[in-house]
Amino acid sequence: MGDESKGESQSQSQSLLNKKSILYARSTSHAYDELHVFRRWLKWMCVDQSDTLSTVLSWFVFIIFAIVVPCLSHFLLACADCDANHDRPYDNVVQLSLSGVAALSFICLTRFMKKFGLRRFLFLDKLCDESETVRKCYMEELNRSLKILFIFVLPCFAAESIYKIWWYSSGGTQIPFLGNVIVSDIVACLLELSSWLYRTTVFFLVCVLFRLICYLQILRLRDFSQIFHIDSDVETVLREHLRIRRHLRIISHRYRRFILLGLVFVTASQFASLLMTTRSTADLHIYKSGELALCSLSLLAGLLILLRGAVRITHKAQAVTCLAAKWHVCATVDSFEAVEGETPPISQIASNQVFPVTSEGSSDADDVGDEEDEFDNTKFVHSYAYSTISFQKRQALVTYFEHNRAGITLYGFMLDRSYLHTIFGMELALVLWLLGKTVASIA
């Protein structure tokens, strides 16, 4: 009876510890939490939804700055009898594009935080299984991600601020809804700038988070490439690659809707922009089309962050196949040399005279510079000829890599460089078709 009660108390204590660990994984930050700075910035950006009050505030700010302010700006604040410089013929495209991508980003970010939590979404709960190098580099990139976010947002916000300040200060609107024209213009200008900053920041935040998660997988792939330089067995290599593939599949499943809908929104925005700016009656003055160009630049920059992160990690993951094949060849050559003895055959001596073997410290290696990485390089892999790995096991592993390509997928389609070429071809065909229609209508 004592043993049973003792076992029950231990099981209860273990269940309490498990519950506490689950709560800690989704709780707010504390003084020693690595996410306390990140969560603080999320609160300042009003996208934190860790509790009920933060969730209500987050949705309130989203409705105000992504829906209410753009609608008021387009239908009320723009004057109907403006002069040629203050007319905004492309404002509807700008407002719909920014509000569309902001709504998509906010809804996806809300779903991510509610379903997974910030720590689990950023794979911080899996860092305990990684090496010290991966953990250190990932935390450095996590702290650097906010700087990257502001690098993209602040220049565009500065240009937008200059345009809005000029538009209101030069008499763009004359609606004294607060009783005073100057005060009304200041309040309206601040609201429009806050709305633009909020929508752009939310969109870039989701893109930067995707880049951050992809960077973690790149670090893991770099760490995984070191397996081929030590005496590892096939089972260890296979288990680690299966774990990386599982995480890549999780990332693809989480972000596939955002990437696809983001591509659709950006393409539709560019199509509408081209359709309006290539008309025969279109006036492409800097005061009129400058805001449209800034909006297009922001959307394309965010899309480029997404596609570059996906393509980069797919390239690294597929380069493992080349590394494994090179490892297999080097191990096979070394095993034959070990069996034949130390004296090289006459054919090998002749081949060495025709194709001399250079050392790793030669000038050829120095000329390469940073163009080769740890995956795709022309250096021999220092294999272990006396390893217990047989030829059949190595061949089976290489065959597995060849037929199981890892990377970021979009509903079964691999996001690699060919995918980027396809997108570029589609966008170019759209532009050329629209330009052809415009030129034909003018003629």
**Among 49, 112, 125, 142, CA closest to 257:** 112
Report yes or no on 293 lying in a domain: yes
The three state secondary structure string of 403-424 is HCCCCCEECCEECCHHHHHHHH
Report yes or no on 136 lying in a domain: yes
Tokens of 37: 């700075």
Report yes or no on 137 lying in a domain: yes
Q: Is the pLDDT of residue 84 over 80?
A: no
Q: Provide the pLDDT for residue 80.
A: 55
What is the residue range of 288's domain? 32-312
Report yes or no on 441 lying in a domain: no
Over pLDDT 90: what percentage of the chain? Answer: 16
**d(C-alpha 48, C-alpha 37), whole Å:** 12
Q: Please name the helix (run of DSSP H) or strand (run of DSSP E) that holds residue 177, with its range, or none.
A: none
**Contact between 142 and 34 (Cβ < 8 Å):** yes
What is the three-class DSSP state of 363? helix
pLDDT class for 172, splitting at 50, 70, 90? low
Which residues lie closer than 8 Å to 244 by C-beta, 6 or more apart?
217, 220, 221, 224, 317, 406
Weakest-pLDDT range from 15-19, 62-66, 89-93, 439-443: 15-19
Q: Provide the pLDDT for residue 258.
A: 94
**Contact between 37 and 141 (Cβ < 8 Å):** no
Q: Mean pLDDT for the chain?
A: 76
Weakest-pLDDT range from 71-75, 361-365, 434-438: 361-365
Domain tally, the chain: 1
- Tokens 């690699």 sit at which residue? 416
Q: Is the pLDDT of residue 240 over 70?
A: yes
Q: Provide the pLDDT for residue 46.
A: 84
**Contact between 156 and 294 (Cβ < 8 Å):** yes
Q: Provide the pLDDT for residue 419.
A: 77
Report yes or no on 401 lying in a domain: no
Mean pLDDT, rounded, for 35-46: 82
Mean pLDDT, rounded, for 105-121: 89
Report yes or no on 331 lying in a domain: no
Tell me the per-residue pLDDT of 270-323, one tens digit each, with 9 for 90 and over.
888 888 877 767 666 777 777 888 888 888 889 889 988 888 888 888 888 888
Report yes or no on 104 lying in a domain: yes
Weakest-pLDDT range from 22-36, 93-107, 188-202, 250-264: 22-36
Mean pLDDT, rounded, for 5-25: 47
**Contact between 257 and 108 (Cβ < 8 Å):** yes
**d(C-alpha 7, C-alpha 3), whole Å:** 6
Residue 410 or 204, more confident: 204
Q: Provide the pLDDT for residue 443.
A: 47
Report yes or no on 402 lying in a domain: no
**Contact between 414 and 261 (Cβ < 8 Å):** no
Q: How far apart are the first and last CA of the chain?
A: 98
**Helices (DSSP H) in 226-282: which residue ranges?**
234-277
pLDDT class for 364, splitting at 50, 70, 90? very low
Tell me the per-residue pLDDT of 383-413, one tens digit each, with 9 for 90 and over.
554 455 677 888 888 888 888 878 888 887 8
Q: Provide the pLDDT for residue 207.
A: 93
Q: To 10 degrees, the CA torsion angle through 418, 423, 429, 430?
A: 170
| Angstrom distances, CA of residue 181 to CA of 76, 81, 439 | 14, 17, 44
What is the three-class DSSP state of 378? coil
Q: Provide the pLDDT for residue 60.
A: 94
Q: Is the pLDDT of residue 198 over 70?
A: yes
